Amino acid sequence: MTTKPAPAAHAEEDTNIPQTLQSLIVAFALAMAVRSFVTEGFVIPTGSMAPTLMGQHLRPTSPATGYSFAVDAGPAFDMMRMLGANYRDIARPMYDPMLSLTDQIEQVSNTESAQNSSMGDRVLVLKYLYAFQEPKRWDVVVFKNPTDPIGDSANFIKRLVGLPQEQILFLDGDVFTAPLGSGRDAFTIQRKPEYIQRAVWQPVHDSDFVPVDLTRLARVWGKSWPGPPWQGTGFETGDKRAWRHDGADAASLQWRFDLMPITDFTAYNIWRDVPVTQRYSVSDIRVSVAIDADDPAKLSSEYTLETRRRNLRFIIADGKATLRIESAREGDADPITVLEEQSVAFTPRTDGAALEVEFWHVDQRMSMFIDGEEIVSLDYAFASLDERLLASYNGRTVEDYTRNATFQQPTPPQLSLSFVGSPLTLHRVRVDRDLYYRPAVLREDPYNQPPQNGEAVSGAAFATDFEKPAQLHSDHFMMCGDNSAASRDSRLWGRPSPLVTAIFGSDAPFIVPRPLLLGKAWCVYFPAPVAAVEGWTKFVPDAGQLRFIR
User: Tens digit of pLDDT for each residue in 25-74?
Assistant: 555 444 444 444 457 888 898 999 999 999 999 999 999 999 999 999 88
- 8 Å CB contact between 228 and 210: yes
- 8 Å CB contact between 520 and 140: yes
pLDDT confidence tier of residue 304, bands split at 50, 70 and 90: very high
Give the mean model confidence (pLDDT) for residues 123-129. Answer: 92
Residue 7 has pLDDT above 80, yes or no: no
Task: Give the pLDDT score at 392.
Answer: 97
Spell out the residues 6+ positions from residue 286 whose beta carbon is closer than 8 angstroms to its own.
201, 358, 359, 360, 361, 362, 430, 431, 432, 433, 434
Residue 320 has pLDDT above 80, yes or no: yes
Dist CA 161 CA 176 (whole Å): 10
Give the mean model confidence (pLDDT) for residues 452-470. Answer: 95
Closest-CA residue to 171 (of 439, 407, 406): 439
Give the mean model confidence (pLDDT) for residues 457-485. Answer: 96
Dist CA 522 CA 127 (whole Å): 10
Amino acid identity of 17?
I
Task: Give the pLDDT score at 336.
Answer: 85
Percent of the chain exceeding pLDDT 70 equals: 91
Task: Give the pLDDT score at 37.
Answer: 44
Closest-CA residue to 184 (of 161, 167, 172): 167
**Superfamily of structural domain 122-199+439-524:** Umud Fragment, subunit A (2.10.109.10)
Residue 501 has pLDDT above 70, yes or no: yes
- 8 Å CB contact between 388 and 184: no
Q: Which of 12-16, 486-490, 518-522 has the lowest mean pLDDT?
A: 12-16
Q: Which long-range contacts (CB under 8 A, 24 or more apart) does 106-111 make?
A: 106/63, 106/220, 108/60, 110/76, 110/79, 110/80, 111/80
pLDDT 10s digits, 340-398 = 999 999 998 888 899 999 999 999 999 999 999 999 999 999 999 999 999 999 999 99
Give the mean model confidence (pLDDT) for residues 121-132. Answer: 92
Dist CA 80 CA 90 (whole Å): 10
Give the mean model confidence (pLDDT) for residues 454-482. Answer: 96
**Which is more confident, 210 or 21?**
210
Residue 517 has pLDDT above 80, yes or no: yes
Give the mean model confidence (pLDDT) for residues 527-534. Answer: 77
User: Would you put residue 337 in left (φ > 0), alpha (ψ -120 to 50) or beta?
Assistant: beta
Residue 525 has pLDDT above 70, yes or no: yes
Percent of the chain exceeding pLDDT 90 equals: 71
pLDDT confidence tier of residue 277, bands split at 50, 70 and 90: low
Task: Give the pLDDT score at 119.
Answer: 87
DSSP secondary structure letter of residue 449: S
Task: Give the pLDDT score at 539.
Answer: 76
- 8 Å CB contact between 477 and 160: yes
Spell out the residues 6+ positions from residue 84 whose beta carbon is closer than 8 angstroms to its own.
none
Q: Model's pTM, two decimal places?
A: 0.91
Burial of 458-476, coded b for 16+ CB within 10 Å and e otherwise, reads eebbbbbbbeebbbbeebb
Task: Give the pLDDT score at 453.
Answer: 95
CA 531 to chain centre: 27
Residue 400 has pLDDT above 50, yes or no: yes
CA 482 to chain centre: 5
Residue 310 has pLDDT above 70, yes or no: yes
pLDDT confidence tier of residue 100, bands split at 50, 70 and 90: very high
Spell out the residues 6+ positions from residue 305 whose beta carbon is closer than 8 angstroms to its own.
283, 285, 311, 312, 314, 359, 361, 413, 414, 415
Q: Which of 335-339, 482-486, 538-542 has the lowest mean pLDDT?
A: 538-542
Task: Give the pLDDT score at 118.
Answer: 87
pLDDT confidence tier of residue 11, bands split at 50, 70 and 90: very low
**In the chain, domain spans:** 57-120+527-548, 122-199+439-524, 202-433
Residue 493 has pLDDT above 50, yes or no: yes
Could you write out the DSSP letters of every residue in 450-495? -GGG-SPP-EEPTT--TTS-EEE-TTEEEEE-SSGGG--STTT--S
Q: How far is CA 334 from CA 21, 107, 330, 337, 359, in A?
A: 85, 52, 7, 9, 27
When the pLDDT of each residue in the chain is averaged and rounded to a whole number, the result is 90
Residue ranges with strand state E in 308-456: 310-317, 320-327, 338-345, 355-361, 365-370, 373-379, 414-420, 424-433, 441-442
**Which is more confident, 37 or 244?**
244
Task: Give the pLDDT score at 38.
Answer: 55
Question: In terms of C-beta density within 10 A (0-12 exposed, 13-18 middle, 19 or more buried), how is residue 89 classed?
Answer: exposed
Dist CA 209 CA 62 (whole Å): 10
In degrees and rounded to multiples of 5, residue 457 shows phi and psi of -85, 140
Residue 20 has pLDDT above 90, yes or no: no
In degrees and rounded to multiples of 5, residue 483 shows phi and psi of -95, 75
Amino acid identity of 43?
V
- 8 Å CB contact between 361 and 305: yes
Closest-CA residue to 77 (of 59, 97, 61, 57): 57
DSSP-based three-state secondary structure for 44: coil
pLDDT confidence tier of residue 21, bands split at 50, 70 and 90: low
Question: In terms of C-beta density within 10 A (0-12 exposed, 13-18 middle, 19 or more buried), how is residue 336 classed?
Answer: exposed
CATH code assigned to 202-433? 2.60.120.560
